[in-house]
């Protein structure tokens, strides 16, 4: 065999081996995203965060050329779904769509957490805030926040409030209000935010602190009345409803937020791409209008800003939950 023949044969053998090597190399160099992206929401379908997540990912899928699949993994106050994200490959194809409860409230109520809220996830972007307010039945005798406060002071321990369960954001929000006002109102936990809101509308309990995304339809249907909102300024949707500060409780604000996170160690260029795409999606008028209709105020941030906000709120709720011995039991 001539030298040229041996060289040609060797090159042919080498080329023949390439197909076995190509899939891994191609995968490593494939532009992101090259396949569907899974967004794990550790909350029930139909919740404020779930509804907002579905609006957002519809637009993200259009922009990025790959579908986003929302997967609701519920249980243990969000721990199970968040654990699945924490244990996923940090490749940008499994993300988490969390409310602030999962990252900043629940960790202070579970003795042995399976993951660390501040180190096991990389922040991607805040998506929006869910504005909150104090609700009563539409024909309740409490027509203003002052009416409710006066009644609660006159009969300590006689009035009650609903929540979505022990340690839920509804529980935490009301506990914060009671802490600021010194009121004694009894907690009645329900199995979810929506049942808690319906309990108020049915007159089973006196009041409730709820995200407007959960109760907006009940307010519009005339079954609930909103006494005050937890924002610093009145909401365009409810221009006649005062803030807590305007209604007599200074320095009280409360809302919840929806954010996207990734498993710790996700490449920075992927996080940056996702952040850019979320910002772009939130600037779309149709997407913004859909979110606002759900009671969500679009608020994109840089990844670092979400990280800083998470740490600050983590400490705020650590103090409240520890002092009041709030648990999920």
In this prediction, residue 90 carries a pLDDT of: 97
Q: What is the pLDDT of residue 59?
A: 97
CA dihedral of 272, 303, 48, 63, whole degrees rounded to 10: -20
Distances (CA, A) of 191 to 162, 199, 251, 327: 10, 11, 30, 15
Smallest CA-to-CA distance from 120 within 257, 262, 307, 258 is with 262
Query: What string of DSSP letters covers 186-248?
Result: EEEE-SSHHHHHHHHHTTSSSEEEEEHHHHHHHHHTTSEEEEEESSSS--TT-TTSPBTTTTT
- Go through 70-98 and write b for each residue having 16 or more CB atoms within 10 A of its CB, e for each that does not: bebbbeebbbebbbbbbebebbbbbbbbb
HEC assignment per residue over 296-329: EEECCCCHHHHHHHHHHHHHHHHHHHHHHCCCCC
- Burial group, residue 112, by CB count within 10 angstroms (0-12, 13-18, 19+): exposed
pLDDT at 84: 96
Cα separations in angstroms, 226 against 38, 196, 210: 36, 15, 10
| pLDDT tens over the chain, length 329 residues | 444 444 343 444 343 444 444 444 444 457 999 999 999 999 888 877 888 999 999 999 999 999 999 999 988 878 899 999 999 999 999 999 998 989 999 999 988 889 999 999 999 999 999 889 999 999 999 999 999 999 999 999 999 999 988 988 999 999 999 999 999 999 999 988 889 999 999 999 999 999 887 898 999 999 999 999 999 999 988 999 999 999 999 989 999 899 999 999 999 999 999 999 999 999 999 999 999 888 788 998 999 999 999 999 999 899 999 998 998 87
Domain 131-229 has CATH 3.40.190.10: yes
- CATH number (3.60.20.10, 3.30.565.10, 3.40.190.150, 3.20.20.300) of 37-130+256-324 reads 3.40.190.150
The residues of the chain that CATH labels 3.40.190.150 are 37-130+256-324
**Residue carrying the six token digits 């967004």:** 39
Separation of alpha carbons 88 and 28, rounded Å: 17
């Amino acid at each position: 065999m001539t030298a040229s023949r041996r060289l040609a044969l060797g090159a042919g053998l080498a080329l023949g081996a390439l197909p076995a090597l190509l899939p891994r190399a191609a995968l490593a160099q494939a532009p992101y995203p090259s396949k569907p992206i899974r967004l794990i929401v550790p909350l029930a379908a139909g919740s404020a965060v779930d509804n907002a997540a579905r609006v957002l990912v519809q637009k993200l899928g259009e922009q990025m050329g790959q579908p986003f699949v929302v997967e609701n993994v519920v249980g243990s106050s969000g721990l199970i779904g968040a654990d699945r994200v924490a244990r996923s490959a940090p490749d940008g194809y499994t993300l988490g769509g969390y409310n602030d409860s999962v990252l900043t409230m629940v960790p202070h109520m579970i003795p042995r957490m399976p993951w660390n809220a501040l180190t096991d996830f990389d922040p991607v972007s805040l998506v929006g805030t869910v504005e909150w307010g104090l609700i009563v039945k539409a024909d309740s005798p409490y027509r203003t926040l002052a009416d409710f406060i006066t009644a609660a002071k006159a009969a300590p321990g006689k009035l009650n409030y609903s929540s979505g369960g022990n340690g839920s954001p509804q529980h935490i929000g009301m506990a914060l209000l009671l802490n600021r006002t010194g009121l004694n109102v009894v907690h009645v936990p329900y199995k979810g935010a929506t049942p808690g809101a319906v309990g108020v509308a049915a007159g089973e309990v006196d009041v409730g602190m709820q995200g407007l995304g959960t109760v907006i339809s009940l307010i519009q249907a005339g079954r609930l009345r909103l006494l005050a909102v937890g924002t610093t300024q009145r909401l365009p949707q409810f221009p006649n409803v005062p803030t807590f500060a305007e209604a007599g409780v200074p320095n009280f604000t409360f809302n919840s937020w929806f954010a996207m996170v990734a498993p710790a160690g996700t490449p920075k260029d992927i996080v940056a791409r996702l952040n850019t795409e979320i910002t772009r999606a939130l600037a779309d008028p149709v997407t913004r209008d859909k979110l606002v209709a759900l009671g969500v105020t679009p608020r994109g941030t840089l990844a670092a800003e979400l990280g800083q906000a998470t740490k600050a709120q983590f400490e705020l709720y650590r103090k409240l939950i520890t002092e009041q011995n709030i648990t999920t039991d």
